[in-house]
Amino acid sequence: MSDEILNSFNNLITNDKESLVEQVMQICASNNQAMDATTARFYLDMSNWNVTNAVSAFYDNGCQPIIMNYQFRFLRDVTIGEGESVQPNTKRDP
């Protein structure tokens, strides 16, 4: 581990879970790794909310965070009347 990450651990004094999530995300960001809150919570929960162990587990497992990059676009509006239903696997009209 780099000295920068080890120095980050010296400033950790809290039991607030959201604060711990933010700290793990900041430590990984300082090491050029992007981490989302869900990944941080997973590793913290796995390590009994110990930041040092969570970051170590993340890097020891060679894991990389999954960053979803969804691109949404509006296709069309389909209105289904009140009380109507659509059965599974129903083919739509073009």
Chain segment 34-88, per-residue pLDDT in tens: 788 998 999 999 999 888 899 888 888 776 555 567 788 888 887 888 888 888 8
Supply the pLDDT for residue 75.
81
Distance, in Å, from the CA atom of 58 to the CA atom of 60, rounded to the nearest integer, reads 6
- Report the phi/psi class of residue 83: left, alpha or beta, with left for phi > 0 and alpha for psi in -120 to 50: left
Distance, in Å, from the CA atom of 27 to the CA atom of 40, rounded to the nearest integer, reads 10
Is this model's pTM higher than 0.75 or not? no
Residue 29's φ and ψ, nearest 5 degrees, are: -65, -35
